[in-house]
Amino acid sequence: MDILTQTPSPSGLPQPTTGGSNSTAASATEKPALSSDFETFLKMLTAQMRNQDPLNPVESADFAVQLATFSNVEQQVRTNQLLESLGDRMGAVGMAQLSGWVGMEARAQVPVQFDGTPVPLTLTPDKLADSAQLVVSDANGIEVQRFSVAPQAGPVLWAGVDADGVPLPEGRYTVEVASFNKGQHLSDSPVHVHGRIVEARNADGQITLVMEGGQEVVSDKILSLRAPDG
């Protein structure tokens, strides 16, 4: 695996708590009457029938419509609750399956977390390129390094040092490959970063993996996995 260092080039660049009664707190955790107390509706319907105007009674068909409407709404609420529970269970299954990923080395398109040591990358230049440059930008989007690299795809080590061999400041960098053909710019493509997975998170049904450098990537964006070296 090549170790990439910079060489001089004309284009290079060196929540507060609030009080409340126990009854208020208890009511906040109770389920809505719509989904938990069907008898309440029946009591209300019975009271309506007992207190209706004898000279202008409510049609029996209207009572049937009310009962059917409430029943449909209650059934929909229960269906939604069932789907939410099913989604949570599926998320738990996904987390269980991904637990084996923790500790593995992953490859993904994420920013580079530089700590002073060489970073393993995979370059993906344009297939039509006859030359390529590695372009490094800091967290503010300012280009801090640019130098020539081989125009072929493959693994390399980015040393993270300037033209004088001095390491760049530690931090997060965006690294891309600029591809050229006969001097004509073709495209800019992100590099693939390698890093060990240290955590798997499930937030709102989406499973996110955290790499040792702090980068977060959705599980389906992981490009490859391998056992860590050593």
In sequence order, the 6+-apart residues with CB closer than 8 A to the CB of 69 are none
Task: Give the mean model confidence (pLDDT) for residues 171-184.
Answer: 94
H or E stretch including 174? strand 171-181
What was the pLDDT predicted at 206? 77
Contacts 24+ apart (CB under 8 A), 82-91: 87/205, 91/202, 91/205, 91/207
Q: What structural domains and CATH numbers belong to the chain?
A: 2-9+111-171+180-190 (2.60.40)
Q: What is the pTM of this model?
A: 0.55
Q: What angle do CA 202, 205, 210 make, to 5 degrees?
A: 30
- Model confidence at 38, pLDDT cuts 50, 70, 90, reads low
Residue 43's pLDDT is: 73
- What's the pLDDT at 5? 65
CB–CB of 197/125 below 8 Å?
A: no
How high is the pLDDT of residue 93?
A: 46
The pLDDT value recorded for residue 186 is 95
